Amino acid sequence: MAEVGDIRIAAYVRGGFLSADSGYVPALRGLGADATGEVLVATTPGTGIAQEDGEDNAAERDNAAERIVGTIMLQPWPYAGEVVTGQDEAEIRALAVRPEAQGHGVGRTLLRHLMGRACERGIRHLVLCTEPGMRAAHRLYEREGFTRLPERDWSPAPGTTLLVYGLRLGGTAPQG
């Protein structure tokens, strides 16, 4: 979970959506640690080749092992946030991809897998909050069938309004 938290913070800071000293950092870092939701990760396979000459080389160790490159969370009712209104709904939280892995379909793959998990769990409606400036995320959600739900827009703090998107699920997992 520590690595997942680091990825979330790095992605949000790099995108300009969070400052490293924001009061939201501990909450974003800790999402899912309390087992109130399901955290999914995307990994890239390592080379399987580790350095064996006794030299301590962190880069070689990183290449040898799988690496988490992205994460997303499914948080069902009643543990989800303000925008979830009933037990057939769940909230998507904290979609984040390592800055160096962005633009390669990791976010789309994570979103599709989460949609499949939601279908398996009998969830009929997914909702999510996003900042107005997260335009790449908006395009991703819209391409996957999500629509704006302006009546559910939410303000967690004065001067901050989060946009809400939703998707009705038909009971079959999306192809991914």
- The tokens for 105 are 């379909």
- The dihedral over CA atoms of 89, 150, 165, 124, expressed in degrees to the nearest 10, equals 30
The whole-number pLDDT of residue 97 equals 95
Predicted confidence (pLDDT) at residue 121 exceeds the cutoff of 90: yes
Express each pLDDT in 66-96 by its tens digit: 899 999 999 999 888 889 999 999 999 999 9
Percentage helix, strand, coil, to 5, in the chain? 30, 25, 40
| DSSP bridge partners of 97 | 70
User: Which residues have CB under 8 Å from 95's CB, separation 6+?
Assistant: 70, 71, 72, 107, 110, 111, 128, 137
User: Dihedrals φ, ψ of 172, to 5°?
Assistant: -115, 145
- Helical packing angle, 135-143 and 106-120, nearest 10°: 50
Q: What is the pTM of this model?
A: 0.81
Question: If you ran DSSP here, which 8-state letter would residue 174 be given?
Answer: P
Question: Which parts of 18-129 fold into alpha helices (H)?
Answer: 25-30, 58-64, 106-120
Q: Is 42 helix (H, G, I), strand (E, B) or coil?
A: strand
Q: Which residue has the tokens 């790449």?
A: 136
**Angstrom distances, CA of residue 33 to CA of 18, 29, 62, 150:** 20, 9, 24, 30
Which band of pLDDT confidence, cut at 50, 70 and 90, is reported for residue 54?
very low
Predicted confidence (pLDDT) at residue 55 exceeds the cutoff of 50: no
User: Which residues have CB under 8 Å from 176's CB, separation 6+?
Assistant: 108, 109, 112, 113, 116
Q: What's the first-to-final CA gap in the chain, in angstroms?
A: 25
